[in-house]
Amino acid sequence: MRQLLLLIFVFFASQWLFKKLKRAQAAAGNAHAGAGTARTSRGPAASGAPQLPDPLVRCAECGVHTPSSEAIIAAGHRFCSVDHAQRHAARPTGRDAR
Ligand SMILES: [Zn+2]
């Protein structure tokens, strides 16, 4: 009786292993066969952008988050606008003034 249970267990285990192996082989085959065409045409549309092209940076003056491409960098700080950069520069000790 115990042997029968063991047999069933082995059967399921082997099936699971077989499935896993098959999936790994299929994945390897897909990557090998359609690496160029299938992925490039589908990649951007299907998955969307996994990461934003430019990360948001925090304005040192007002704390607003701005895309890094639009942010103004002055004196090692990032600002949402030139106005804030100038305002921050006019105040050498910004934290004390507050
Ligand atoms: Zn600002």
Tens-place pLDDT, residues 7-26 = 877 778 888 888 888 888 88
Token pair in block for residue 3: 């042997």
Quote the ligand 1 centre to 66 CA distance (angstroms). Answer: 9
DSSP secondary structure, 33-50, as one string: HSTTHHHHHHHHHHH--S
Q: How many domains does the chain have?
A: 2
The rounded Å distance from CA 49 to ligand 1 centre is 27
* Distance separating alpha carbons of residues 13 and 25, to the nearest angstrom: 18
Over the stretch 55-83, which tens digit does the pLDDT of each residue have?
999 999 999 999 999 999 998 999 999 99
CA of 27 to the centre of ligand 1 (A): 48
Say which residues have a Cβ less than 8 Å from residue 41's Cβ, sequence separation at least 6: none
User: Which residue is listed with tokens 């491409």?
Assistant: 69
CA of 97 to the centre of ligand 1 (A): 16
42 in the same domain as 6? yes
Residue 31 scores a pLDDT above 70 = no
Tell me: do 39 and 6 sit in the same domain: yes
Domain end marker among 47, 64, 80: 47
For residues 93 and 84, is the Cβ–Cβ distance under 8 A?
no
- The residue range of the domain holding 65 is 56-97
Compute the distance from residue 64 Cα to the ligand 1 centre, in Å: 6
Q: For residue 10, list its beta bridge partners.
A: none
